[in-house]
């Protein structure tokens, strides 16, 4: 009987830890350390949280200001093939050219390079391992992450949230 109760306790703890981990990774709890990519840095475009929420709406606010992640395959920008510029949805700064966009098969818009000087990076430990977070250099908005499995010439994959971007056709 004692082992049955111990099994239930272990199972409940495992399920609870998994649910907490999922909620944390998806940004359910709101602000986390990576939402402020460069603590103390003053960005050119800044607003109070209330103004950001009003400007962005709840979904974009969760991505850009709280470092959330949208579900894979949910963004229409993932399939955008036209020539143009992908700008920050927070401050409209041009970030990526369509010439560097490619289909990574991940379900998120992916690029092999940004427009020079338009993005910044920081280290994100949100899921327990170090990742390179990418953010807008003008407003600090969270865009996504950079991985080392992209195509030539950079070998980088800037895996971005479509909600963090606005497409401006050429």
Is 3 a domain residue? no
Query: Is residue 11 over pLDDT 70?
Result: no
**CATH number of the domain enclosing 42:** 2.170.150.20
Is 88 a domain residue? yes
Q: How confident is the model at residue 28 (pLDDT cuts 50, 70, 90)?
A: very low
DSSP letter, residue 85? E
Torsion region of 107: left, alpha or beta (phi above 0 gives left; psi -120 to 50 gives alpha): left
Domain region containing 73: 31-169
Given this model, what pLDDT does residue 73 score? 96
Is 146 a domain residue? yes
Q: Which of 87, 69, 79 is nearest to 142 (CA)?
A: 69
Which pTM does this prediction carry? 0.77
Q: What is the pLDDT of residues 148-166, one digit of tens each?
A: 999 999 999 999 999 999 9
Q: Cα(72)–Cα(105) distance, rounded to whole angstroms? A: 10
Question: Before 83, cis peptide (omega within 30)?
Answer: no
**Distance (Å) of CA 33 to CA 49, 69, 158:** 16, 15, 20
CA atoms within a 13 Å half-sphere pointing along the CA-CB vector of 104: 26
The number of folded domains in the chain is: 1
DSSP assignment of 110-161? EES-PPTTSEEEEEE-TTSS-EEEEEETTT--EEEEEES---TTT--EEEE-
Q: What is the pLDDT of residues 47-70, one digit of tens each?
A: 999 999 999 999 999 999 999 999
Is 150 a domain residue? yes
Is 51 a domain residue? yes
Q: Which residue is associated with the tokens 């229409």?
A: 76
Q: What is the pLDDT of residues 74-123, one digit of tens each?
A: 999 999 999 999 999 999 999 999 999 999 999 999 999 999 999 999 99
Given this model, what pLDDT does residue 126 score? 85
Catalytic residues: 159
């Amino acid at each position: 009987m004692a082992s049955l109760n111990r099994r239930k306790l272990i199972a409940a703890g495992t399920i609870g830890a998994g649910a907490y981990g999922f909620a944390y990774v998806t940004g359910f709890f709101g602000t986390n350390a990576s939402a402020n990519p460069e603590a103390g840095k003053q960005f050119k475009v800044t607003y109070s949280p209330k103004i950001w929420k009003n400007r962005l709406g709840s979904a974009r606010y969760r991505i850009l200001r709280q470092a959330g992640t949208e579900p894979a395959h949910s963004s229409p920008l993932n399939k955008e093939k036209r020539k143009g510029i992908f700008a920050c949805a927070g401050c409209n700064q041009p970030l990526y050219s369509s010439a560097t966009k490619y289909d990574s098969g991940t379900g998120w818009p992916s690029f092999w390079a940004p427009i020079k000087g338009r993005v910044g990076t920081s280290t994100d430990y949100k899921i327990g391992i170090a990742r390179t977070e990418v953010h807008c250099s003008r407003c600090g908005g969270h865009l996504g992450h950079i991985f080392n499995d992209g195509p030539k010439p950079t070998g980088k994959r800037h895996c971005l949230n479509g909600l963090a971007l606005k497409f401006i056709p050429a």
